[in-house]
Amino acid sequence: MVRATIIGSGPNGLAAGVSLARAGYEVRVLEAADTIGGGVRSAETTLPGFVHDICSAVHPAALSSPFFQAFGLADRIDWIVPEISYAHPLDGGRAGVAWRDIEKTAAGLGVDGKAWLALLRPLSRHIDGVVDFTGNQMLRIPREPLTALRFGLRMIDQGTPFADLSFRTDEAAGLISGVLAHAPARMPSLAASAAGLLLAAAGHAGGWMYPRGGAQRIADAMVADIEAHGGSVESGVHVTDLGDLDWGDPDAGDLLLLNTSPRLLLTHPDIPSRYARAIQGYRYGAAAAKVDFALDGPIPWTNPDVAQAPTVHLGGTRAEVAASENAVARGRVSDRPYVLTVQPSVFDPTRAPEGKAVLWAYIHVPANSDLDATELITRQVERFAPGFRDRILAHHSVPASAREAVNPAEIGGDILGGAFTIPQAVRRPVLSTAPWRTPMRGVYLASSSTPPGPGVNGLAGWHAARTALADAGERATLADLF
């Protein structure tokens, strides 16, 4: 039996493992950390009984992913799909609220309701076309050209200074800016606009769902499938030099897939100099400074709808959010940073002891920053939820400079696998119609540093596995495997 060795057990590595194990390969997944899952791990980082997600917490693209649809992820774990996808509080108790029901969202935005519908209803109604356009290599003809055109026009609309003309109220402008700011990029920018519009459209299509019990459930389901098809997953195996790795015989059809930073490819003894230069030129972006909080009860948000939103974007007005993100682009951190928060225990009592709660939060910071974001995040939450500070039982902070030790793929604390720019969306990490394939025989890159980029959707892993199978002359469609 031919072997497939996969380095990294994040969702893309596990997606590749599932695909190749089902295709008949003897799959072996190697994970550097002591626990499996990469970006979908959960642990008690603060106090016993408080379950925190290590990286990804909410998964807007999971159930719209073609790979996870074929895998049947919706039926393998228990998903929570809240009525509110995300909320954006403002001073004075006001808030913009993105309900899963787009009509209800528009009704809550008053004079900006029609503009919200015009921006997002065509995309949410054609979410499969949006996912096809954004979830594949960009050098291709999309399956739904009209949807791709609609997406592109809206990306330009929200990714340029004209975006300030889109909405008249702080609620609507803040609501869209909060989701656009997920990608650490200058605002406005086409890159931030593209990422945010995909997320916003998903919020009105399937919703922003998350697994009951923690993100770890996603990894556990995929590992179980790999093992059911004869594969294995080993933790505590840190591969730092491909020249030292016995991954098999490429002449016999053995494969090596990397769910890692592309930099690991530089250690391959047969890497061509031209490809090595391209990998060396691949850029990494801003980083994340994350804090987990164990709380003595729910967060006392001033706005009651925000209390029912698992995902809450903090940062104030659209101008404040842009100022925060642009400060990071200039190498510093705002005193009032944009904070991405998730309060999963609102609908998931398994995350904390009875009556208690957890909060997951991070801010964007310059690469390799050693900033402890605890106080900055606490002040921003307190701004919209007076009394939050008094609810804190414990916290666990991971600065950007420490993230690479948690996950070696996060270079400098970059959680997205590379700088999020339009050029790197096309050249990720090299300009190619099949960027998952490397020049080394039998070696493939299967990480978020390849298309479609970041997100818990398994697509980079599937594309790498599909490319490897096609190179071996084997039919490779999702319908063939599931």
CATH dotted code for 3-43+52-60+68-74+211-283+416-481: 3.50.50.60
Q: pLDDT value at position 475?
A: 84
- Global pTM reads 0.96
- H-helix or E-strand containing 270? none
- Give residue 140's pLDDT: 75
Question: How many angstroms separate the CA atoms of 59 and 28, rounded?
Answer: 26
Q: Give me the residues paired with residue 294 across strands.
A: 358, 394
More confident residue, 64 or 14: 14
Is it the case that residue 138 has pLDDT exceeding 70? no
Task: Check residue 139 and give its pLDDT.
Answer: 66
Whether residue 435 is predicted with pLDDT greater than 70 in this model: the reply is yes
Longest CA pairwise span in the chain (Å): 67
Strand pairing partners for 341?
312, 361
Q: Is 125 exposed, middle or buried (0-12, 13-18, 19+ CB in 10 A)?
A: middle
pLDDT of residue 63: 86
Measuring CA to CA, which residue among 65, 204, 73 is closest to residue 136? 65
* Lowest-confidence region among 183-187, 253-257, 305-309, 423-427: 423-427
Instruction: Please give the structure tokens belonging to residue 64.
Output: 């719209």
Mean pLDDT for the stretch of residues 55-75: 95
The CA distance from 293 to 272, in Å, is: 47
Give residue for tokens 């109604």: 125
> Each residue of 262-287: pLDDT tens digit?
999 999 999 999 999 999 999 999 99
Q: Which CATH class is domain 80-208+285-406?
A: alpha beta
Average pLDDT over residues 133-158: 89
- pLDDT of res. 141: 83
Q: Identify the residue with better confidence: 140 or 209.
A: 209
Question: Which amino acid, 221?
Answer: A
Amino acid 415: pLDDT: 96
- What average pLDDT does the chain have? 96
- The average pLDDT across 32-59 equals 97
Delimiting residues of CATH 3.90.660 domain(s) in the chain:
80-208+285-406
Where, residue-wise, is CATH 3.50.50.60 in the chain? 3-43+52-60+68-74+211-283+416-481
**Model pLDDT, residue 406:** 87
Q: Which of 371, 445, 54 is nearest to 216 (CA)?
A: 54
Residue 166: the pLDDT is 95
DSSP type of residue 180: H
> Percent of the chain at pLDDT above 70?
100
- 3 state SS of 255: strand
Answer yes or no: are the C-beta atoms of 166 and 119 closer than 8 Å: yes
Please name the helix (run of DSSP H) or strand (run of DSSP E) that holds residue 277, with its range, or none. Answer: helix 273-280
Percent of the chain with pLDDT over 90: 94
**HSE value, Cβ hemisphere, 13 Å, CA-based, for 455:** 29
Q: Are strands 26-30 and 3-7 parallel, antiparallel or unpaired?
A: parallel
Q: Tell me what the mean pLDDT of segment 228-248 comes to.
A: 97
Give, in order, the Cα–Cα distances in Å from 242 to each of 6, 30, 137, 148, 260.
Answer: 12, 13, 26, 39, 12
